[in-house]
C-alpha cells in the first residue's frame, strides 16, 4: 500500500475519502489512516477534511536545508511543527544567532500576524522567519517589509500569479490576501540589534474558514507547487535586495513597488499623524511611507491598519523586540 496510496492521492483531482482509498487498496480505513500519518511524518502534506476526504498538497521531503544556503541564508532550522517560527527566531536572536538564520515550520500551532492577530498556518503553506542584523538606524527598518513583499510579488508574477503588494506588509491577488509579513526588531536608539522577518505564504494549504480579510492560496493559480522551489526563488531575490536596501535605502525600489501596488489610486481609511483619516493613495515615499491625498492636503502614513473604503476598487525596545510598523 505504501506507494499506491501516495500515487492515488497525487493523481486525484478531488479529495478522496478514507473509504474510497481503503476499498481501492483492499485494506481497512484504519490502515489507510495509519499510513497517512506515516506519510505526513515523512514530509508529505496530506490535508484531511471531515466528510470530504484526503488531498495531497505537496511535499517537503525534498527540501534540503543546505540548498537554501549561499546567499543571505547561513543556517536553517526546520521543524515539522512549532508554535511560532517568529518566537523561535526571536529567542535565537536574543541568544546571539547570526544574520541569515532561517527558522521554518511545516505548520505552526500559534502563528502570529500583525496587530496581535493570530495567523492560521496549516500544513501546505510556507511559514518562516529570517534573522537579520542590518547596520541601520531603527527608523529605516520598516521599509524592509516592503522590499520582502516586493520580492514575493516578483516570485509569484513570474509564475503567472496576478500578485501585487498591499502596503505595508501584504501580498494580494484579485482582491484576496495571499501572504503577510511580520517584522519585529530589537534596537537601541541609533542601532538595530536584530530583526526577525516573519513571512507566511498560503501556498497549497487550506485557507482559514472566516478570515478577517478574504484569503487566497498560490496553488489556486499554479496548482500544487513545491514549497522549497518558491522559497529558494524568494531567497535568491532577497539575497540581492537586502544588501541593496541596507546600502541605498528604499528609494531605488520605490518605482517597482508602486507599479505593483494594489492600493495606488484607491480610497482608503488609514492612521495619519492626526488620527484616523481617509483619502486617495498617491503612492509611497523614499522611506516607504504611504502617501495619501486627503481633504486637507497630502499626508503620509507610516504604521497601522489601512483599509480599502471600497474593496471592489481593487485591481524599540531592546531584548524582547517589537512589531514594525
Ligand atoms: C500579517 O499579515 O499579519 C503577518 C503574518 C505573518 C505570519 C508569519 S508565518 C511565519 C512567522 N511566524 C509567525 O508566527 N508569524 C510569521
Q: Among the residues of the chain, which ranges form H helices?
A: 2-11, 18-25, 29-41, 65-68, 85-94, 142-157, 219-222, 227-248, 251-259
- Measured in Å, residue 112 CA sits from the centre of ligand 1 at 5
CA 60/CA 73 separation, integer angstroms: 18
Nearest alpha carbon, ligand 1 atom 3 = 113
Average pLDDT in the 225-247 region?
Answer: 94
The count of structural domains within the chain is: 3
18-22, 55-59, 99-103, 318-322: least confidently modelled range: 318-322
- Domain final position from 242, 259, 276: 259
Give ∠ CA 301-148-161 in degrees, rounded to 5: 105
- 118: which DSSP letter? B
CA 199/CA 130 separation, integer angstroms: 8
* Residue 39, all three cell numbers: 506519510
Ligand 1 pocket test: which of 113, 203, 207 has the largest number of ligand atoms within 8 Å of its C-beta? 113
* Residue 215, all three cell numbers: 484569503
3-12, 26-35, 246-255: least confidently modelled range: 3-12
Give the domain extent around 279.
267-323
Same domain membership, residue 146 and residue 285: no
Same domain membership, residue 277 and residue 167: no
Nearest CA-CA partner of 316 in 199, 198, 195: 195
Same domain membership, residue 101 and residue 45: no
Whether 205 lines ligand 1, by a CB cut-off of 6 Å, is no
Same domain membership, residue 304 and residue 234: no
Percent of the chain with pLDDT over 70: 92
Beta-sheet strands, E only, within the chain: 44-49, 53-59, 75-82, 101-108, 126-132, 163-166, 170-173, 176-187, 192-201, 267-272, 275-284, 290-294, 297-301, 307-308, 322-324
User: What local confidence, expressed as pLDDT, does residue 63 receive?
Assistant: 58
Same domain membership, residue 76 and residue 204: yes
Same domain membership, residue 175 and residue 132: yes
Same domain membership, residue 95 and residue 124: yes
CATH classification at residue 113: 3.30.930.10
- Domain final position from 215, 243, 259: 259
- Measured in Å, residue 56 CA sits from the centre of ligand 1 at 24
Whether 84 lines ligand 1, by a CB cut-off of 6 Å, is yes
CATH classification at residue 44: 1.10.10.10
Same domain membership, residue 119 and residue 32: no
* Residue 24, all three cell numbers: 481501492
Same domain membership, residue 211 and residue 129: yes
Whether this model's pTM surpasses 0.85: no
Residue 319 has pLDDT above 70, yes or no: no
242 SS3 class: helix
CA 149/CA 147 separation, integer angstroms: 5
Amino acid at each position: 500500500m505504501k506507494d499506491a496510496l501516495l500515487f492515488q492521492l497525487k493523481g486525484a483531482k478531488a479529495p478522496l475519502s478514507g473509504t474510497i482509498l481503503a476499498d481501492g487498496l483492499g485494506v481497512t480505513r484504519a490502515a489507510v489512516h495509519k499510513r497517512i500519518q506515516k506519510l505526513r511524518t515523512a514530509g508529505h502534506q496530506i490535508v484531511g477534511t471531515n466528510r470530504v476526504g484526503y488531498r495531497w498538497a505537496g511535499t517537503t521531503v525534498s527540501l534540503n536545508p543546505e540548498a537554501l544556503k549561499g546567499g543571505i541564508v547561513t543556517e536553517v532550522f526546520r521543524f515539522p511543527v512549532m508554535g511560532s517560527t517568529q518566537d523561535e527566531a526571536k529567542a535565537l536572536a536574543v541568544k546571539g544567532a547570526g544574520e541569515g538564520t532561517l527558522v521554518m515550520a511545516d505548520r505552526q500551532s500559534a502563528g502570529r500576524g500583525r496587530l496581535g492577530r493570530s495567523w492560521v498556518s496549516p500544513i501546505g503553506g510556507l511559514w518562516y522567519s529570517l534573522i537579520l542584523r542590518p547596520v541601520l538606524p531603527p527608523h529605516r527598518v520598516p521599509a524592509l517589509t516592503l522590499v520582502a513583499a516586493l520580492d514575493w510579488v516578483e516570485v509569484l508574477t513570474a509564475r503567472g500569479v496576478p500578485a501585487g503588494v498591499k502596503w505595508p506588509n501584504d501580498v494580494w491577488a484579485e482582491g484576496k490576501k495571499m501572504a503577510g509579513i511580520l517584522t519585529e526588531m530589537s534596537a537601541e536608539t541609533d542601532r538595530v540589534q536584530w530583526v526577525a522577518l516573519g513571512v507566511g505564504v498560503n501556498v497549497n494549504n487550506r485557507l482559514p474558514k472566516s478570515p478577517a480579510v478574504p484569503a487566497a492560496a498560490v496553488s489556486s493559480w499554479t496548482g500544487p507547487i513545491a514549497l522549497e522551489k518558491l522559497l529558494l526563488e524568494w531567497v535568491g531575490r532577497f539575497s540581492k535586495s537586502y544588501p541593496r536596501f541596507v546600502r541605498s535605502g528604499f528609494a531605488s525600489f520605490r518605482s517597482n513597488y508602486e507599479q505593483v501596488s494594489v492600493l495606488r489610486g484607491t480610497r482608503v481609511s488609514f492612521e495619519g499623524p492626526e488620527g484616523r483619516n481617509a483619502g486617495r493613495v498617491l503612492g509611497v515615499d523614499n522611506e516607504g511611507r504611504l502617501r495619501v491625498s486627503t481633504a486637507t492636503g497630502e499626508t503620509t502614513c507610516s504604521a497601522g491598519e489601512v483599509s480599502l473604503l471600497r474593496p471592489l476598487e481593487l485591481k524599540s525596545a531592546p531584548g524582547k523586540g517589537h512589531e514594525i510598523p
